[in-house]
Structure formats: C-alpha cells, structure tokens
Structure 1
C-alpha cells in the first residue's frame, strides 16, 4: 500500500464551537458549528482544566456517545455521517494545535518509544484513508454509470453497475482489519497515575479510539448498504435481516434493483445516493489531510 507524501505543517489557533453542546447529527450541523467559534490561545501546561484539552475531550465524548457500536441503529443518514466526519476533522486539527504547545511536546519527548508506536498507527490510518479515497472515487464512477443506465432503462448495464458497487463495498470492508489491529495495540503508558504526561497521552489515545470508531461505522455502513438481504431461520420461520448501512445508499441500491417501479422516486433516490457519495468523499478527504498533518506534528516532536 502506498504511503502518501508528508506535507508541511502550519500553526493554527484553536477553534471550538461556543455552544453549550454540539448540535444533534444533521446535514446542517457542520455549517452551524463553523459559524460560531471561540478562540483560545494558550501556552500553559495542558492540564485537565486547560481549555484545549477540556473542549477536545468534550467533543470526543459526544462522538463516543453517538457512535458506539451497541447504540447504532440499523441505518443512519448521510447527514449523520457528514457531521461525524466534520467533528473528526475538528478533533484532529485541535490535537494538532495541542501538539504545537511546548509543554505538550516536552511531555511526549519523555516517552519516545510510545510516540514511535503512535506514529506507526497514524501511518496505517493514513494509508487506510488513502485507499478509501480511491474506492470512493470508484463508487462515484459506478453511480454515474448507473444513473445513465437507469435513464436508458438498460438492464444489462445496471446489473454491471450493481456488481461494481458491491465490489467496491467489499474492498472497503477489507480495510476494517487494519483498524482492528490498531485497536488491539497497547496504547497505555507505564508510569505513576499522578504522572502529568498522562493527560496528553490519554487524549491521544482517545483520539485514536474515536478515529477507529467512526471509520468502522463508515466503512461498515458503506459495505453493508450494498449487501443483499441475509436470511435466517428462527423457530422454523424464514426471516430477512438487513445489514447496517447508510439510508441514502441502501435506497439507491433498491432503486437500481427496481427500475420498472416509480420512475420519479427512482430518480430521486439515485440523486440522493450521488449526493451522499459526494459528501463522504469530501468529508473523508479532509480527515485524510488532517491525519497526515497530525502525524507530521507527532514526527516533529521527535525530530525538532
């Protein structure tokens, strides 16, 4: 797997929403978050009460509560996905700014072996998102071809497009084991519970956990959207079970399989599917860039 070239890193001010709590997941929450900002500039020690750490942990907790695997519904919307990707990018940029503080760098330099392990994990995540971007591009091409086939009512072409979508879904699903490997890596830092370095170490651990959580939901949601119904037998009754997925993608696949049904509805569903894929591509590309920047910041901790 190719490793993206590292890019230059620039210092930023830290920005967070000044709302009491982040808005519920929706397609408009990203713009609402972007409109209202408070700016913190500080060079004090990154203790638990530090504004950057406090707000960063707040956003981390919000994503954890919304995207825990045992609380996810059978389907979630593209708006929820876009909101999660925006928040994930904000968290990564905030961590990047936290790493710009001299006290944070000093704390991490006392644990070079731990930083090296985290650098390896971020390299894997960068590679995973680089591959994911390529698969999303393929999904877009298949979707464009599917819309054309729908307008022409070309059944053979639609079957080909469905196979292409399912193949991309399977390729995306293959990315999940790489995330699982990172999840199983030990990220604890040996030392006293009163060690002040544990604050910065702890927040980096939480960031990694949330990246994996959101990524697993996203990748699994896309691949699950393209799967057919699974059947199971319960007390002698045949029942159909749907994979977890993203509503707009699942509806788009349904419309492709039912070309002779409501033409207006099919067109609407295919359009929503296109918008969903575009949103995922845009949001994940920004997360990809933020992952690269954060890894560069971690690398600078050891080299500067």
Structure 2
C-alpha cells in the first residue's frame, strides 16, 4: 500500500501561503517568470483534464461492452460494440498523442529566467519550476499508460503515487502491457482472430480489471485536480492582492 502522507502539491500550496513567498511574488509580479509560473499552473490543469477525459471516454465504452455481455453474452451485437470500442480507442490515442506533443513544447517553456538574482527569488523559482517539470513528467507517464504505450513499472509508480495519494491505483506495475493495451489486444482477438478466438468470459474478466483501474485513476486524478486548482487560486489571489 502507498503511505497516505501529504501530497507534494499540498506542500507547494502551504509554501505559497508563507509571507516571505508572497512578498517575493508581489514584488516581482510584473516579471516574466511570474507570468510563466501562472501559465504553468494552467498547463498542469490542462494535462490533468486530458487524462480525465480519456478515462471517462474509455469507461463509457467499457461499460457498453459489459452491458451487452451481461444481456446477450455474445453474438453479433457484441462484435459490433467491440469494433466501436476499438475505433473509439483510436480517437483517444490520437488525442493523447496530440497532448503529449504539446507537452514536449510546454516542458521547454518551463525554463524560467529571472532578471532578479537574489537568493530568495531564485530559490522560489527553482522550487516551483522543479515541481512543474516533475508533475508534467508524471502526466506524460499517465497518458502513455492510458494510451497503452507504456505499462506502469514500479520505478515510475513512485512519482505517480506521491501525487495521487491517498488513492492506490489497482493497475499492473510489472506487466508487459497496461490494462488498456490488454483490452485492445483482447478485442482485436475477439473480433478478428479466426484461430484463437477469445472467450466471452475471459473478455469480461479483462474489462472488469480495466474498469477497476480506471475508477482508481479517476479518483486519483480528481484528488490531483483539486490541488492544482488550489495552487492556481493561491497564485491568483497573491498577484491580485
């Protein structure tokens, strides 16, 4: 189990509430690095929204498949719905691919240059910049997992678990494929394979496993989204003080 300790973003929120931090932001509010900081908070929210939308879309398609299996058990209707799922999956992957391309450009924009080189300012900039880069990297891993590109290995899970605590995501950490990729492969086999046809019961088991993973991820991302909102609101309140 993941320790239910404080999310690192909560530490950032607390840090932003320190009088010294607020003094620096107010004093430097017209500097480009402050604008970049505010823009960075929006970039993080955008990436979180992309991940949430992908999960919602996939969950809806998954439940349609499960509903047909429960009612019919198989047949042409299930095959047609499986094809719809695969088509929908391509749409999700395309959206994620576009988001990841934008993410690479956004990561380059995270490099903040300040004209004021005093120690307090540089310490604040370095801390907030490091958090943004690390969080964007975490979103990249999550999106790759959802798209079926990369499974969650134990060495990459730590950074994710720190952000989406206290929810533990019940996804495979050492599998060669993510749950999302496993479903795609299973449906391809169910629809198109002539020699190794997947049994409906096996398909149902795979779908249930992915739905559980989606549910946990949704809760974790909602946890993260709320904290990103708190940080953005804190920055806005400080700058409008």
Question: If the length of structure 2 is used for normalisation, what is the TM-score?
Answer: 0.75
> Which of 40, 60, 74 pairs up with 1:152?
74
Question: Whole-Å Cα distance in 1 between the matches of residues 21 and 52 of structure 2?
Answer: 32
Describe the shift of the 1:171–1:98 C-alpha distance in structure 2 as closer, same or farther (beyond 3 A): same
Q: Quote how far apart the aligned CAs of 1:195 are.
A: 1.6
Q: What residue is the counterpart of 1:278 in the other structure? A: 215
> Which of 171, 179, 185 pairs up with 1:248?
179
Give the SS at the match of 1:33. Answer: coil
Flag as ranges the 4+ runs of structure 1 deviating above 6 A.
none
Does structure 1 residue 302 correspond to structure 2 residue 239?
A: yes
Task: Extract unaligned runs of 5+ from structure 1.
Answer: 1-27, 38-89, 227-243
Question: Whole-Å Cα distance in 2 between the matches of residues 250 and 140 of structure 1?
Answer: 14
> Which of 131, 135, 151 pairs up with 2:54?
135
Give the SS at the match of 1:127. Answer: helix
Once the two structures are superposed, the pairs formed by residues 175-186 of structure 1 within 5 Å of their partners are: 175-185=99-109, 186=111
Question: Whole-Å Cα distance in 2 between the matches of residues 170 and 218 of structure 1?
Answer: 15
Question: Whole-Å Cα distance in 1 between the matches of residues 68 and 115 of structure 2?
Answer: 59
Q: Quote how far apart the aligned CAs of 1:95 are.
A: 0.3
Q: Deviations over 1:4-62 (max 9, x none)?
A: xxxxxxxxxxxxxxxxxxxxxxxx21xx324xx7xxxxxxxxxxxxxxxxxxxxxxxxx
Q: Deviations over 1:206-246 (max 9, x none)?
A: 110011101111112222349xxxxxxxxxxxxxxxxx986
Once the two structures are superposed, the pairs formed by residues 158-197 of structure 1 within 5 Å of their partners are: 158-185=82-109, 186-192=111-117, 195-197=119-121
Q: What residue is the counterpart of 2:22 in the other structure? A: 105
Alignment root-mean-square deviation, CA: 2.4
Question: If the length of structure 1 is used for normalisation, what is the TM-score?
Answer: 0.60
What number of residue pairs does the alignment pair up?
Answer: 203
Q: What residue is the counterpart of 2:132 in the other structure? A: 208
Question: Whole-Å Cα distance in 2 between the matches of residues 214 and 245 of structure 1?
Answer: 19
Q: Deviations over 1:62-97 (max 9, x none)?
A: xxxxxxxxxxxxxxxxxxxxxxxxxxxx12121011
Question: Whole-Å Cα distance in 2 between the matches of residues 245 and 205 of structure 1?
Answer: 33
Flag the structure with more relative contact order, 1 or 2, with Cα contacts below 8 A and sequence separation at least 6. 2
Q: What residue is the counterpart of 1:265 in the other structure? A: 202
Question: Whole-Å Cα distance in 1 between the matches of residues 98 and 68 of structure 2?
Answer: 28
